Amino acid sequence: MKLTVKQGSSKAKQETKAGKASGKTPKIEAGPHVIDLPEIGRLTVTVVTDNYTDSIRPDAPVGKRFRGGPGAFVHAGHGLSFYIETLLKRKSHALMFDYGPDPYIAIRNMELLGIDPGKVNSFGLSHGHLDHWGGLLGLLKHHGDKIAKGTPLYVGGETFAHRYSVNLSTLVRTDIGRLKKKEIESFGIVEIREIKEPTEAIPGCWLTGDIERTTEYEKGTPTLLVKRGGKVERDYMMGEQGLVSNVKDKGLVVISGCAHAGIVNTVKHARKITSINKVHAIIGGFHLVNSAPDLISKTIADIQAMKPDYVIATHCTGFEAMSAFAKEMPDQFIINTAGTRYTFGA
């Protein structure tokens, strides 16, 4: 549904333009050492869905791609979904993080990938955009009898707020929907837990809590809006969550949904709250789609300085940014495809 902004249009335009120029975002500050993150023997990240699929692309150095066959191809869509497993003290734990744009893709791909929803110990959601929660309600409805009652669903602040995007040239505002808390609760399956601080999602994998903003160039997207107290304002996605694990003898694996906070901010925050500097892998959306070349260059330079072993770009990273990462970090960059299963550690 599209709505033309009439009352307050010029103000909205001025506010988003001003925000773009100044980059002033509400402050989030993290303590010097917040969590004691244990080493895990293995971290497995299965990309349930992503924007891109390719059944004949060679396997990645740390990933096995889903090949498929007649009647058994995974579906791609504009969104992202992860199934994550940790191995700690010889025991496996599972987490789902984000659910793609619609339930058909999530349910079908999970089936093809051999993912049992009954083994999920926790659910998590990076932020309140449809391309990340669109499959959640359908998944709960379809597999509710398999999921243990009271399984936690971790969300950040304003996850259930109504959201919009605005075209600054035409001042046409697009309603991009909202996830409704009452609809989730109506299933009587998961227990919603809203967090701000770093929180253990499953043993060996922690949610970042609200991500500290420190870079001067990762200023968010001025065209994204949120409804607060009856007013539609710029959305800085301050409640966005990422994930972090510490793989034995490898280092941190940092997972983002969209990185509206900035992928550099996300990794810096993960390093700060764990007091671990070594980064083994960065995987997820980097939200550099349609970004200026200068922003992409600064991001790549800071990621290079972190010396990750792998950079696995997904979803909203954007073609131009992916091309630049591939050129500047050819030994580390991996392009993801839907259905790929990455294994970090033994």
Q: Is the pLDDT of residue 22 over 50?
A: no
List, for residues 248-266, the tens digit of each pLDDT value: 999 999 999 999 999 999 9
Return the pLDDT at 25. Answer: 66
List, for residues 109-151, the tens digit of each pLDDT value: 999 999 999 999 999 999 999 999 999 999 999 999 999 999 9
What is d(CA 269, CA 28) in angstroms, rounded to the nearest whole number? 10
Q: How many domains does the chain have?
A: 1
Return the pLDDT at 34. Answer: 81
Burial (CB count <10 Å: 0-12, 13-18, 19+), residue 342: buried
Q: Which whole number is the average pLDDT over 310-323?
A: 98
User: The tokens 């609760």 sit on which residue?
Assistant: 185
Residue 250 maps to which CATH number?
3.60.15.10
User: The tokens 């004949």 sit on which residue?
Assistant: 56
* Distances in whole angstroms, Cα of residue 324 to Cα of each of 187, 206, 215, 329, 340: 44, 30, 20, 8, 22
**H or E stretch at 312:** strand 310-314
User: The tokens 């010889």 sit on which residue?
Assistant: 90
Report yes or no: 266 and 214 within 8 Å, Cβ to Cβ. no
What residues make up the domain containing 209? 2-345
Q: Which whole number is the average pLDDT over 235-241?
A: 96
List, for residues 272-298, the tens digit of each pLDDT value: 999 999 999 999 999 999 999 999 999
Identify the band that residue 2 occupies on the pLDDT scale cut at 50, 70 and 90. Answer: very low
Burial (CB count <10 Å: 0-12, 13-18, 19+), residue 227: middle
Return the pLDDT at 223. Answer: 93
Identify the band that residue 33 occupies on the pLDDT scale cut at 50, 70 and 90. Answer: low
Query: Which residues are CB-contacts of 311 (< 8 A; sequence separation ≥ 6)?
Result: 281, 282, 303, 325, 329, 332, 333, 334
Amino acid residing at 19: G
H helical segments located in 187-315: 263-274, 293-306
3-state SS assignment for residue 103: helix
CB atoms within 10 A of CB 278: 15
